[in-house]
Structure 1
Amino acid sequence: MKNAILITIGDEILSGNTIDTNSNFIAKELKSIGISVKQIFTISDELESIKSCLKTALENADLIIATGGLGPTRDDKTKKAFVEFFNDNLVLDEETYQHLSKYLQKRKRQHLLELNVSQAEVLSKAVVFQNDFGTAPCQMVKRNGKLVFSLPGVPYEVKPLIKDKILPYLKEKFELDSIFTRIVSVVNVPESILVERIANWEDHLPSHISLSYLPVGNRVKLRITASGKDFSQLENDVETQIHSLLKIIGDNVIATYEDKIEKILGEILTERKLSISTTESCTGGEISKLITSVSGSSQYFLGGIVTYATQKKIDILKVSKESVAKHSVVSEEVALEMARGGQKLFGTDICLSTTGVAGPSKGEDGKDIGTVFYSIRINDVEKVSHLYLPYMERTDFMNFVAQRVLQDLVAVLVQNH
């Protein structure tokens, strides 16, 4: 199997001001064609840092993909570093220049600035891949049979370059193994116990099949990956292993194809013709966001409401003042009443509710940061749960709770089917 190293170039990544989404995307795409990523480097936009990283990468991988540092600004130094490292010089590429002219004219730019024109200058030894969604092209340089790509850093430019141009080139260039992956989602089994329960099964996996554990909330995603020449055979081999696995932990498995909980839920709700609504407080609409991220969710999601203020819980969801006074707004009783009120408001089969303290300060009723109560109401059957997550950053807290609520709902629906 060929292997790759990814290099992300940019001070904005190192400072934390920008999140590196390119590496995650590229790694997944490479894996889909049988190329594994063995290392990911994030480095500053400095000549020596770039050259040093290129040297290390070429010593350890067959393929290097660098992103960033190719904009029309004077502080971008990637191209210069490539020129020095590969002992090359820049030449004006006519095809790139024409592409650049047409691209900017479409954006009402009649004259190219000197900085823009410089983006049509490429290494004389490079193979050029035109960037249909930006101004800086992708360049590829060969050394000792290894390939080094330099891409711009903007994600919406990186994605089509990778999918439409680089991947097809690599598939034609290399004789690559096929890779087939399935996800088995397991709930209500701690990871350490799950490892013990399936240890014998894991020990007897064929050499071309590997297993990874990916915990998410109260769910563990088991990623089963097979690699080889015959894709159909890989599918059969993985299916055989999953069949054996289900004999061991089948009661705790909620899906064997999809890995996103919101999609798993969507398939169940669609199949059973169930409707759902949400009444959120501490999760701030995160549950609704997850549900509606799925195409076709309008078939089952009727609506959601964020009643952040206590009075709005009372006014809109008809939470009783007595419950708030006696138990506080962050309580089991209020979570139950929120779900009842939401179910009545939207007329749904299912309603989910959350109330808690996301931080960074205590709640208005003095409850500790990280305290959460959530309720799942299915028709007339209701369940309330309590979490305590005191050390999570606010946005991580919201996402974790939202994931947990959906995972619990899926587990209930699967177990009661």
Structure 2
Amino acid sequence: MTKASIITIGDELLIGQVIDTNSAWIAQKLNKAGIPVVRRVAVGDAWNEIWTALDEEQQYADIILITGGLGPTADDITKPLLCEYFNGKMIINKDALENVENIFKNILKRPMIERNRKQAEVPDVCEVIINKRGTAPGMVFSKENKTFISMPGVPHEMKGMIVDDVLPLLQKKYTTTNIVHKTLLTAGVGESFLAELILDFESNLPAHIKLAYLPNYGMVRLRLTATGDNVATEVQEKFDTLQSLVKEYLVTNEDEPLQAVVGKLLVAKGKTMCTAESCTGGYIAHLLTAMPGSSKFYDGSVVSYSNKVKEDVLNVKVATLQQYGAVSEQVVIEMAKGVLQKIKSDYTIAVSGIMGPDGGTADKPVGTVWVAVGKHDKIQTQLFNFRFDRERNIQLTAINVLNLLRKFILVDLEV
């Protein structure tokens, strides 16, 4: 079986200044192409660490994909290191130079300095991948039947190379494996309870079908995985059984986020929604509008972070705020009605809470959140008490209120 390893390079990854999204994206693409990733390694901008990683990863994988360290500055050492590692010498690649010159002349429209010209330098022992989205070319090396591919760390540039050049190259060179994944999403139930619920099912799975639990923010994904040429039908049969066992908590039998499920539900019925957000500050709107085609089901939002905006824009009564406080059932009901009146969607979400780390009281500690979902003539509310840090409280609020809206719509439309 052909196996791959990913090396990401950069001190910024190790100190947490930048989150490594490259390796996760690459792993997804390789997996779909039938090339499993067996290791992922992050190293700093240090010669010895990069060299050691190259030595080690080829012991585990046939394909080593490298991102980062190809820029024009002194801390970008990946290219000279690869030149020495593969016993080459640096040369100017004509095609790469034309690409750099074209970018500066026709796109950036400014003079190119010598430092930029050096971007076209590559080891003479590599095959060059022209960077259609930037100046740093990709490089393909071979050593003892192993393939090493170095790409820029800029996600946009790396993704272009993977799709246009790297995957076609690997699929032509290597025999890939049929990898079958089936994933479902549950909500309203913990990982431990799910494990007990499907204990017999999991115990009786054949050795070549693996079950994985993927919990995240009040939701749990269950994934079945098998490898081989004739496993799709068997995996589907097991997946059908799994769905029936968890049907009470099932959100979707696709590997998709909750906001996509809500969007599909609304589009299928020709309905739209809006949001009124206080404590989440527009995060729910962000989740929804990040979905392709969200304009078909999402109309807009009022981020009523202050009481003044709640009063002036959403028509929340001053008396309601004074008597019950901004974090209250009464206020989120008025927020929901106000945003529906303002935006005129079919359904809405309204949230108000205390995210922390400050602002809590004995009666309403940090993590107290009131939410409302509904339509013009019917509003449903719920109180949550999360008690976590600010970021997690915001994320949990968004996921829980989206799921509450999903269930509300299902009942309302009798789907």
TM-score, with structure 2 as normaliser? 0.92
- The correspondence for 2:399, drawn from 388, 403, 406, is 403
Aligned to 1:240: 237
User: 2:160 & 2:357 partners in 1: Cα distance?
Assistant: 40
> Matched residue of 2:59: which SS?
helix
- CA–CA distance in 1 between the matches of 2:402 and 2:311? 25
In the alignment, the residues of structure 2 paired with residue 111 and residue 284 of structure 1 have an alpha-carbon distance, to the nearest angstrom, of 43
Partner SS for 2:73: coil
Instruction: Name the stretch that deviates more: 159-168 or 247-256.
Output: 247-256
Residue 100 of structure 1 and its aligned partner are, at CA, apart by 2.8
Mapped to 1, the partners of 2:407 and 2:374 lie a distance apart of 13
Q: Note closer, same or farther for the CA distance 1:60–1:338 as it changes in structure 2 (3 Å cut).
A: same
Consecutive unaligned residues in structure 2, runs of 5 or more: none
Contact 2:31-2:179 at 8 Å conserved across structures: yes
Tell me the distance in 1 between the aligned counterparts of 2:109 and 2:339.
53
- Distance, in Å, in 1 between the alignment partners of 2:211 and 2:84 is 42
Aligned residue type for 2:405? L
What is the SS of the residue equivalent to 2:393? Answer: helix
CA contact (8 A) 1:48 1:81 kept: no
Amino acid at match of 1:163: V
Candidates 355, 367, 380, aligned match of 1:358? 355
Per-residue deviation at 1:161?
A: 0.4
Kept in 1, the 8 Å contact 2:218–2:396? The answer is no
Residue 28 of structure 1: aligned partner: 28
Give 1:51's aligned residue. Answer: 51
> What residue in structure 2 maps to residue 73 of structure 1?
73
| In 2, Cα distance between equivalents of 1:57 and 1:46 | 17
Shift of 1:192: 0.6
Alpha-carbon contact 1:376-1:382 (below 8 Å) kept: yes
Amino acid at match of 1:113: I
Cα distance in 2 for partners of 1:11, 1:303 equals 40
Amino acid at match of 1:122: V
Matched residues in 1 for 2:108 and 2:371: separation? 53
Distance 1:355 1:102, change over 3 A: same
1:174 Cα offset (Å)? 0.8
Q: Which amino acid aligns with 1:273?
A: G
Cα distance in 2 for partners of 1:109, 1:334 equals 54
* Cα shift readout 1:56-90 (whole Å, capped 9, x = no counterpart): 11222221111111111122111122123233322
Number of matched pairs: 413
- Asked whether the equivalents of residues 218 and 407 of structure 1 are also in contact (C-alpha less than 8 Å), the reply is no
Q: Using the alignment, how far apart are the partners of 2:345 and 2:352 within structure 1?
A: 20
Instruction: Give the structure 2 partner of residue 202 of structure 1.
Output: 202
Secondary structure (helix, strand or coil) at the match of 1:59 reads coil
Q: CA deviation at 1:125?
A: 1.8
Identical columns (%) = 33
The Cα shift of 1:278 comes to 1.1
1:216-365, aligned counterparts within 5 Å? 216-229=216-229, 234=232, 236-362=233-359
1:161 is paired with a residue whose SS is helix
Which AA in structure 2 matches 1:72?
A: P
CA distance 1:137–1:319, shift in 2 (3 Å): same
Q: 2:381 maps to what in 1?
A: 384
Contact kept, 8 Å, 1:3 with 1:63, in 2: the verdict is yes
CA deviation map 1:116-154 (0-9, x unaligned): 232222222212211111111111111211111111111
* CA–CA distance in structure 1, aligned partners of residues 315 and 91 of structure 2: 71
What is the alpha-carbon distance in structure 2 between the residues aligned to residue 302 and residue 124 of structure 1?
A: 55
Say which SS state the counterpart of residue 60 (structure 1) adopts: coil
Give the match's secondary structure for 2:37: strand
Deviations 1:339-388 (A, max 9, x none): 22222333333221100112232159984322211111245333222222
Distance 1:252 1:364, change over 3 A: closer
Structure 2 residue matching 1:172: 3-state secondary structure: helix
